[in-house]
């Protein structure tokens, strides 16, 4: 049975559940400064809680057809935050302390002709509810502020990424193509959508550290000196430092830092070997190397498609993970027309060799 209420004075909603009508009537009068809704049937109360929001529940323990602890058991299946006070005819009839803790019942009170103690517990409970709401509101505002900061930081890093591509006309759109190839490999390996998104972002930002490398080195037409090559080798670590402060980039940090590791352990910056190298970094390594080989560089013209794939094949187990190379080659074979269309290239038509049956690459 659901009871109508008088106009409340304070903006809190309290549910009272007791199978004795007189208790509900008394509490409704005693608590008339709040929004009060009373139920004599605990099953109806459970249904009401599924569809309405209440700040606090005052609940009798010994009821029919189910007891108060059983009511809370059902409520906690869909509402873990409701503040609950349990009423007992006598404290010896209250449920065990272990049950009260397990069900997160915030307090209990013995029934009495005087409701002073209950009122104190209710007012204390409502203060806790209000504090929790305040904390939740603050957290939401902080989350929004943090999201805005992350968006701004991501925008800044995106600008830096584009600046890296713009530093060298030979590698224009390089990071976009590396991202594309990395996704192609990830799909061929059957990775999850979340992993595919990580590869997409990792490919886009893998060379962000080159913003810290002088143009005179990046665009040098001839062979680099040992000192210049050492400078180039710093760009993964520089990139990792750039993106590390933003939590949104945590998942691509291993890609940025380790995409120049080699399968034989002779790469940089950490000389990782084999599967010590993060999987996504191994994938981007293959994609990055392939795009570098099939792009015109300041120090050499681009490779033909077959020559680039031969190079990947020859370096399996040395520079590249063999499984990833095989996956990439297979994915290219199966999707060549789509790849050419997506990247606006003519891989097949700018090669003297027939890619459909290259001698050194097995299907």
Nearest to 188 by CA among 362, 345, 324: 324
Beta strand segments in the chain, E = 13-17, 35-39, 56-60, 83-88, 107-110
> Distance between CA atoms of 224 and 228, rounded to whole angstroms?
6
> Distance between CA atoms of 45 and 63, rounded to whole angstroms?
12
**Which of the following is catalytic: 4, 210, 233, 241?**
210
Encode 56-87: b = buried (16+ Cβ within 10 Å), e = exposed: bbbbbbebeeebbbbbbebbbeebeebbbbbb
Q: What are phi and psi of 82, to 5 degrees?
A: -60, 130
Nearest to 295 by CA among 207, 198, 196: 207
C-alpha distances in Å from residue 325, one per residue of 47, 269, 328: 58, 22, 5
Indicate if 273 belongs to the active site: no
Nearest to 60 by CA among 95, 31, 98: 95
> Distance between CA atoms of 299 and 135, rounded to whole angstroms?
59
SS3 215: helix
* DSSP-H helix ranges across 233-273: 235-243, 253-258
Where does residue 52 fall: left (phi above 0), alpha (psi -120 to 50 degrees), or beta otherwise?
beta
Query: What is the DSSP code string of 7-58?
Result: PPSSS-EEEEE-S-HHHHHHHHHHTTTSEEEEES-HHHHHHHHHHS--SEEE
> Distance between CA atoms of 97 and 94, rounded to whole angstroms?
8
Nearest to 237 by CA among 199, 208, 278: 208
SS3 249: helix
Residues with active-site annotation: 210
């Amino acid at each position: 049975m659901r009871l109508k209420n008088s106009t409340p004075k304070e903006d809190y909603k309290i549910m009272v559940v007791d199978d004795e009508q007189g208790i509900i009537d008394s509490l409704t009068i005693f608590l008339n400064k709040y929004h009060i809704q009373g139920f004599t049937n605990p099953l109806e109360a459970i249904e009401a809680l599924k569809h309405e929001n209440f700040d606090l529940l005052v609940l009798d323990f010994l009821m029919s057809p189910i007891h108060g602890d059983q009511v809370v058991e059902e409520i906690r299946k869909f509402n873990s935050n409701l503040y609950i006070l349990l009423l007992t005819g006598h404290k010896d009839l209250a449920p065990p302390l272990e049950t009260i803790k397990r069900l997160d019942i915030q307090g209990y009170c013995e029934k009495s002709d005087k409701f002073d103690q209950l009122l104190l517990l209710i007012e204390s409970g409502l203060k806790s509810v209000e504090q929790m709401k305040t904390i939740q509101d603050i957290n939401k505002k902080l989350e929004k502020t943090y999201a805005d900061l992350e968006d701004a930081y991501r925008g800044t890093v995106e600008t830096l990424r584009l600046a890296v591509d713009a530093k060298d006309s030979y590698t224009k759109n390089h990071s976009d193509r590396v991202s594309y190839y990395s996704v192609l490999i990830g799909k061929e390996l059957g990775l999850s959508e979340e992993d595919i998104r990580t590869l997409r972002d990792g490919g886009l930002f893998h060379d962000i550290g080159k913003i810290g490398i002088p143009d005179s080195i990046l665009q040098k037409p001839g062979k680099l000196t040992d000192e210049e090559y050492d400078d180039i080798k710093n760009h993964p670590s520089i990139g990792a430092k750039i993106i590390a402060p933003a939590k949104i980039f945590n998942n691509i940090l291993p890609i940025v830092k380790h995409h120049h590791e080699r399968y034989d352990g002779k790469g940089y910056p950490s000389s990782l070997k084999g599967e010590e190298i993060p999987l996504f970094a191994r994938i981007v390594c293959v994609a990055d190397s392939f795009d570098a080989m099939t792009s015109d560089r300041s120090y050499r013209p681009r490779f033909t498609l077959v020559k680039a794939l031969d190079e990947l094949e020859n370096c399996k187990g040395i520079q590249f993970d063999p499984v990833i190379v095989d996956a990439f080659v297979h994915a290219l074979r199966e999707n060549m027309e789509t790849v050419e269309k997506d990247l606006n290239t003519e891989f097949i038509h700018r090669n003297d060799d027939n890619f459909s049956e290259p001698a050194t690459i097995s299907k």
